[in-house]
Amino acid sequence: MGFYFRKSINFGGLRFNLSKSGIGMSVGVKGFRIGTGPRGNYVHMGRNGLYYRAALGSKGKTAKRTKSQPETPVESIGSQPKTLVEQTQSNLEFVDIESADVAQITDSSSEELLKEIADKNRKRYFWPFCFLLSFIVPPIGIFIAIIAAFLVYNLMDKKRKTVVLLYDIDEYTEEKLQEFYNSFDEIINAKAKWHISSEAETKDYKYHAGAGKIVKRTPITVKYTTPKYMKTNVKIPCIPVGKQLLYFFPDKVLIYEGKRVGAVSYNNLQISQRNQHFVVRGTVPSDAVIVDYTWQYLNKSGGPDKRFSNNPRLPIAFYSEINFTSETGLNERIQVSKPDVGKNLILQLSKLVENVNFEANDTGSSQEIAIDSEHI
């Protein structure tokens, strides 16, 4: 799919627009102007830097200026020497591969956005109170209560709880983002993906198909999707990693864990990739590369241990492992069936960070919002 960027989005009867003159909101009588309304977040992204503004309906709060210089965000490392195999027993000491508490994973440029998301997540739903009508006013009945609940949810609750995040991206940066998001398509199009949650050293490799490590992993689906109660004008790649979801926005990763959200700016994100030998039990994905074969139980010379009657011959595939980490506590690993997948992601993110100044700059306070009758 690649990068997809729209100049406007519709939400709650409103239309948020981007133009050369800035950002606007359209609804109501043509020419009517207001200074309040639904809160929105505006990000200008270009060669001269990133500009964050909590603009629509807010009063003067902007992102803090980040003065630290970006470090190299990515690296690629070689193949791990120890072959991996999936867990089949539980008497090993597993080490979790997991991120810190999501509340600790944040950066200064995202403070206002994270605060708004948290505030809106705490808002109560109104629609359940509609069912009280069927008890307070019995003639109304459950059918009317269901209709009322549906209308209240769609016309009130969704609007109260939704965060609007608009990106204004210049042509140069849009090209870089297109290349970055194209690299995500390589992960999406791979035949199989897994989240690796923990690993353990094997105590006797001869009983584990010659593998030096055992991993726990879960199949995942990587796709383009937007967080619940978020309206934005770009398509967002999402990688599920256990209890958390990683959403890769144009300027940062948002980490969702239930109703709590963290953030890592791309200049603070480290990605590493390596191709890894993996003993496969079951079907080998069609895009995987088989490099060798082994047996479930080995003798000292590396051949099949004939003491075991049930000793299947197993393929060793060459998979890709991708790690996402940050100094603030992000620590997640995924596995992809096709080798080398992730190298292009590293390259394109490096180019994005190199060519876009990821310093947050103040751009002033809130602005008036133009109302246009054609979008009622």
Question: H/E element holding 333?
Answer: strand 331-336
pLDDT score at 366:
34
What mean pLDDT value characterizes the chain?
75
Q: Which residue has the higher pLDDT, 316 or 108?
A: 316
The yes-or-no verdict on residue 36 having pLDDT over 70 is: no
The yes-or-no verdict on residue 15 having pLDDT over 50 is: yes
- Single-letter residue type at 81: P
| Alpha-carbon distance values, 10 to 127, 254, 345, 356, 375 (Å) | 22, 22, 31, 29, 9
C-beta separation of 19 from 193 below 8 A: no
Residue 162 pLDDT grade (very low, low, confident, very high; cuts 50, 70, 90): confident
pLDDT score at 335:
97
Give the Cα separation of 332 and 351 in Å (integer): 22
C-beta separation of 292 from 83 below 8 A: no
Give the Cα separation of 324 and 345 in Å (integer): 11
The yes-or-no verdict on residue 58 having pLDDT over 50 is: no
Q: What is the mean pLDDT of residues 134-152?
A: 63
pLDDT score at 295:
86
pLDDT score at 185:
94
The yes-or-no verdict on residue 209 having pLDDT over 50 is: yes
DSSP-derived pairing of the beta strands 237-241 and 244-248 = antiparallel
pLDDT tens sequence across 330-376: 999 999 999 999 999 999 998 888 877 665 444 443 333 332 323 32
Q: Read off φ and ψ for residue 155, nearest 5 degrees.
A: -95, -20
Question: Taking the model in full, what pTM does it have?
Answer: 0.76
The yes-or-no verdict on residue 43 having pLDDT over 80 is: no
